[in-house]
C-alpha cells in the first residue's frame, strides 16, 4: 500500500522498517514507538504507522506523517507530520497532506485535525493551503487546526 503524487511516494512502514529508518529525530522515534505499541488487535496497521515520505525520483526520505489513531465514531482523526529541514520550502508537505486527505476520505474520515505551535508559521501555512482552518488555541502556545473532508 502506498500513495503517489506528482513528486512523492508516501508509504506506511511496519515497526521493523521504521526502526531501521535513518533521519528520524528522537522525539518522533519515541512518539512513533508509542503509537506502534498502542495498535489494537484487528485494526488496520496504517492508522498506527509512520508514513515515510520520499521523493519519487530517487526514493530519498524527506519526511513523515502519521495518523494518531483510527478515526473516531464521528470520522475524526488527528494527524502529525514533519519534513526534514533541508527539504522545507519546496511544497512537499502541502503536496503530501493533500494526497493523505484524499486517502483518508476514502476510508471514512470526515474531519482531520492537527496541532502546531503558535510560532510555527510554516506549519500553519501548510495546513491553511490544504484547507485546514484554525479551530482553537490550547495552553496559549498550541493551535488546533481542523479540516472538513467532503
pLDDT at residue 50 is higher than 90: yes
Split at pLDDT 50, 70, 90, the class of 150 is confident
Mean of the pLDDT values across residues 12-28? 90
pLDDT at residue 139 is higher than 80: no
Q: Are 89 and 126 contacting, i.e. CB atoms less than 8 angstroms apart?
A: no
76: helix, strand or coil: strand
Q: What percent of the chain has pLDDT over 90?
A: 83
Mean of the pLDDT values across residues 2-28? 93
Mean of the per-residue pLDDT values of the chain: 93
pLDDT digit string, tens, across residues 86-138:
999 999 999 999 999 999 999 999 999 999 999 999 999 999 999 999 999 88
Mean of the pLDDT values across residues 53-61? 96
Sheet order of strands, 3-4 included: 3-4, 8-13, 50-55, 61-67, 76-83, 111-117, 142-148, 133-138
Q: Which residues contact 28 (CB under 8 A, 6 or more apart)?
A: 50, 64, 82
Split at pLDDT 50, 70, 90, the class of 65 is very high
Q: How many angstroms separate the first and last alpha carbons of the chain?
A: 23
pLDDT reported for residue 23: 84
Amino acid at each position: 500500500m502506498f500513495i503517489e503524487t506528482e513528486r512523492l511516494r508516501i508509504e506506511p512502514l511496519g515497526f521493523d522498517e521504521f526502526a531501521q529508518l535513518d533521519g528520524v529525530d528522537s522525539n518522533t522515534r519515541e512518539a512513533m514507538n508509542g503509537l506502534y505499541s498502542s495498535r489494537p488487535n484487528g485494526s488496520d496497521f496504517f492508522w498506527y504507522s509512520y508514513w515515510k515520505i520520499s521523493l519519487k525520483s530517487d526514493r530519498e526520505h524527506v519526511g513523515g506523517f502519521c495518523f494518531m489513531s483510527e478515526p473516531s465514531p464521528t470520522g475524526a482523526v488527528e494527524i502529525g507530520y514533519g519534513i526534514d529541514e533541508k527539504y522545507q520550502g519546496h511544497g512537499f508537505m502541502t503536496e503530501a497532506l493533500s494526497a493523505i486527505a484524499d486517502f483518508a476520505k476514502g476510508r471514512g474520515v470526515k474531519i482531520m485535525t492537527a496541532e502546531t505551535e503558535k510560532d510555527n508559521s510554516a506549519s500553519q501555512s501548510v495546513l491553511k493551503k490544504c484547507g485546514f482552518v484554525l479551530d482553537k488555541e490550547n495552553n496559549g502556545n498550541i493551535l488546533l487546526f481542523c479540516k472538513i473532508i467532503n
